[in-house]
Structure 1
Amino acid sequence: MTQRATKRPEEFKKPAHWTNDPAPKPQAAKEQADPDGLSPTRYGDWVRKGIAVDF
């Protein structure tokens, strides 16, 4: 069985954009009024020219 590498090679240089900071927490979703009626993400159907379309 081949051993797994636990260290980077000596010649490896860390890119300038790498950081050890944790990823930022996601922001809460904002509720927005739907100007065309019911939200398709909530009810599962889009209405286009009077016809319900389900993806």
Structure 2
Amino acid sequence: MTKRATERPRKFTKPAHWSNDPVPAPRPPDNPERLSPTRYGDWVKDGIAIDF
């Protein structure tokens, strides 16, 4: 069995866009009465419900 790496290689340098800031809190929905298409699978385009 191959041993799993537990540390980064010594040559590794952290990219400039990486940060240690906490993840931002989720925004409240724009219209809470409207169902989420990612949750229910129905997308509306020009008044017609479509499913991919």
User: TM-score with structure 1 length normalisation?
Assistant: 0.54
1:25 aligns with 2:29: no
The letter for the 2-side match of 1:13 is T
* Sequence identity percentage: 44
Question: Runs (4+) of structure 1 moved beyond 4 Å?
Answer: none
Q: Which has the larger radius of gyration?
A: 1
Cα pair distance change 1:30/1:7, threshold 3 Å:
same
Size of the aligned set, in residue pairs, is: 42
In structure 2, list runs of 5 or more residues that go unmatched: none
> Does residue 4 in structure 1 map to residue 4 in structure 2?
yes
The one-letter code of the counterpart of 1:22 is P
How has the CA–CA distance of structure 1 residues 30 and 18 changed in structure 2, closer, same or farther, with 3 Å as cutoff?
same
Task: Output the TM-score relative to the length of structure 2.
Answer: 0.57
